A and B are shown apart, each in its own frame.
Chain A
Amino acid sequence: SAVISQKPSRDICQRGTSLTIQCQVDSQVTMMFWYRQQPGQSLTLIATANQGSEATYESGFVIDKFPISRPNLTFSTLTVSNMSPEDSSIYLCSAIAGVDEQYFGPGTRLTVT
């Protein structure tokens, strides 16, 4: 398994600002992912964070809005840019360990006012 930490755990931000979320894994992993989960909803994949290359974004998510960095095999960041109240959500990072088992960090609860 993998132990994943995220910072911050929660934040309240003003409209138009940006927030960078950090994700740290306790071991080297090849694949990391970023998800969003709205209250009462399932998880929606934002992007795959690739080490050494640009992230791969899912339909409906763009790099200008959600820039992602992956400087090494244990760390990634997701920035939520130019925030609006619609960006209020829980943001989760995950990593694959073992065969293809995916483990999640504790999440970052973002509220945009």
Chain B
Amino acid sequence: QKEVEQNSGPLSVPEGAIASLNCTYSDRVSQSFFWYRQYSGKSPELIMSIYSNGDKEDGRFTAQLNKASQYVSLLIRDSQPSDSATYLCAVIRFGNEKLTFGTGTRLTIIP
């Protein structure tokens, strides 16, 4: 079992709809959770961090964390073509500063 798993996609969503990206992790002592956006040919860009159970909202983005079920998700409301990218889920284990990345989900917003 991979430490961090994501559906590789591609995920296609109509413009203006909600895009839902999911991530599961295997290590129960994971404590910090991140979503990165990576455009083709560019480096990863941090868009959300979440540390406690529940929802965290930032503009059109909402991160959701459920530690009991070991999953973290990212919702993108009012999806725009500029949201088309690969989204990487990453976790940090308690006592360890190293990020463990999922394989990423490729999201395409269809105009």
B34 and A107 within 8 A (CB):
no
Residues of A within 8 A of B22 (CB): none
With a CB–CB cut-off of 8 A, which chain B residues contact A33? 98-99
Asked if A106 and B101 make an inter-chain contact with CB atoms under 8 angstroms apart, the answer reads no
- Interface segment among B39-47, B61-69, B72-80: the answer is B39-47
| 8 Å CB contact of A42 from B32, B45, B88 | B88
Structural contact, B49 and A101, CB atoms closer than 8 A: yes
Q: Is A43 within 8 A of B97, CB to CB?
A: no
Contact between B88 and A101 (Cβ–Cβ < 8 Å)?
A: no
Bound state CA distance, A106 and B97, in angstroms?
21
Cα–Cα distance between A103 and B42 once the two chains are bound (Å): 13
How many B residues are at the interface, by size bracket?
10 to 19
Q: How large is the interface on A (under 10, 10 to 19, 20 to 34, 35 or more residues)?
A: 10 to 19
Residues on B with beta carbons closer than 8 Å to the beta carbon of A1: 46
Chain B 34-58 interface mask (CB, 8 Å, partner A; 1/0): 1000000011111001010000000
Q: Are B97 and A42 touching (Cβ within 8 A)?
A: no
CB of A106 within 8 A of CB of B42, answer yes
B49 neighbours in A (Cβ, 8 Å): 99, 101
CA distance A78 to B51 in the complex (A): 31
A50-73 toward B: CB 8 Å interface, digit per residue (1/0)? 000000000000000000000000
A31 close to chain B: CB less than 8 A: yes
Cross-chain contact B32 with A100 (CB below 8 angstroms): yes
Could you tell me which A residues sit within 8 Å of B by CB distance? 1, 31, 33, 41-43, 45, 48, 92, 96, 99-107
Q: A48-B97, A92-B43 are in contact. List 16 more A-B contacts (CB 8 A).
A: A1-B46, A33-B98, A33-B99, A42-B88, A42-B101, A42-B103, A45-B99, A96-B97, A100-B32, A100-B92, A100-B97, A101-B34, A102-B46, A102-B90, A102-B99, A105-B43
